[in-house]
Amino acid sequence: MKRKYDLVCIGDVVMDAFITLKEAKVEWDKTHEHPELTMPFADKIPYESLMVATAVGNASNVAVGARRLGLDVGMLTSVGDDHYGREVLDWYRKEGVGTEYVKVNRGLPTNYHFVLTFKAERTILIKHQKYAYVDPHMLDGRTDWIYFSSIAEHTMPFHRKVAAYLRAHPNVKMGFNPGTFQLRFGAEALAPIYKRTYALFVNREEAAFILGTKNEDIPTLFNGLHKLGPKIVLITDGPKGAYASDGVSRWFMPPYPDPRPPISRTGAGDAFATGFLCGLIYGLPVHEALRWAPIESMNVVQHFGAQTGLLKKSALTALLKKAPTQYQPKTL
């Protein structure tokens, strides 16, 4: 008999090789809007260190984080039939994440990304294989929550299956964090997904991109995103904090104080989503779930790897008790 889950996460899983650079520069492009990482061309460039992280990716990070926070979690994803695919499955079993919806694709390699880390920021070289995935209808009501995030560019038919599943199971709530290719699909193409989204997770720039505007005014972004369908909208703004709206009330949440300067910001957004989503699943109101989120991201950026610093629930609540008095959501 298949397990009943609190949450099933859907999205691509990858292996990440973290390469910490020694010799690089950050320069601005001609528009002075986008920083660019530059290195000597046609040369041998020393690097500081290398670390390989297993079974990462937006949805996978949230799955592991939610499991550590005590939820029963399954993963719907795909891997290749290689050594790294077996590593991914072993990692999920170790973490207690259900694997019955992980499809092994014969003859294809497992996704492998390279993360170039420099001055606590990262540039990621990505490639998503053209996998087949388990049909979402196989979930058959075995979860009350879905978290859907980054997946390959060839998956528009799969998105239609996710939307059809949500229409057939209207009581299932979905958190949606659009990845690179999902943002490129555009809001019109993914209208059925946005319409059935319960909680949308984006950063400020992504929110403006979805709406096709350069206006990054928070109230304007909230208004536009709610019109697409999400009941709750969470907008992160990097180290400045985050904003949340339930369509009636809106809040600003300051960051949790860093005990030390961040080592790597890789996975910070996924960690934030983990804390907020799990707070909602545990039944917290939006403004209380907001207090969980920055704690997760604060601890993740103190480590290399998107999952290394993900917390157990006891550790999160302990940090919550130690929070300074100003660590509270502020009504906008």
pLDDT tens column, 173-184: 999 999 999 999
Q: What is the pLDDT of residue 1?
A: 58
| Nearest-10 Cα torsion for 261, 125, 193, 162 | -120
pLDDT band at 205 (very low <50, low <70, confident <90, very high): very high
CATH code matching the domain that covers 7-14+56-110+128-327, chosen among 3.40.1190.20, 1.10.357.10, 3.90.1150.10, 3.60.20.10: 3.40.1190.20
pLDDT tens figures, 92-102 = 999 999 999 99
Q: Report the mean per-residue pLDDT for the chain.
A: 93
- Residue 265 or 245, more confident: 245
Q: What is the pLDDT of residue 20?
A: 87
pLDDT band at 141 (very low <50, low <70, confident <90, very high): confident
CB atoms within 10 A of CB 159: 18
pLDDT band at 33 (very low <50, low <70, confident <90, very high): confident
pLDDT band at 18 (very low <50, low <70, confident <90, very high): confident
- Asked if residue 246 has pLDDT above 70, the reply is yes
- Asked if residue 107 has pLDDT above 70, the reply is yes
pLDDT band at 24 (very low <50, low <70, confident <90, very high): confident
- Asked if residue 6 has pLDDT above 80, the reply is yes
Q: What is the pLDDT of residue 38?
A: 87
Q: What is the pLDDT of residue 128?
A: 87
User: What is the value of pTM for the model shown?
Assistant: 0.91
51-55, 131-135, 157-161: lowest mean pLDDT where?
A: 51-55
- Asked if residue 30 has pLDDT above 80, the reply is no
Q: What is the pLDDT of residue 32?
A: 66
- Asked if residue 165 has pLDDT above 90, the reply is yes
The answer to whether residues 143 and 4 touch, using CB atoms and an 8 Å cutoff, is yes
Residue 230, token pair as written in the block: 């999400």
Q: What is the pLDDT of residue 45?
A: 87
108-130: b or e for each residue (b if 16 or more CB lie within 10 Å)? bbbbbbebbbbeeebbeebebbe
Each domain of the chain, given as residue ranges in start order, spans: 7-14+56-110+128-327
The answer to whether residues 87 and 15 touch, using CB atoms and an 8 Å cutoff, is yes
User: Distance (Å, rounded) from C-alpha 20 to C-alpha 283?
Assistant: 40
pLDDT tens figures, 68-106 = 999 999 999 999 999 999 999 999 999 999 999 999 999
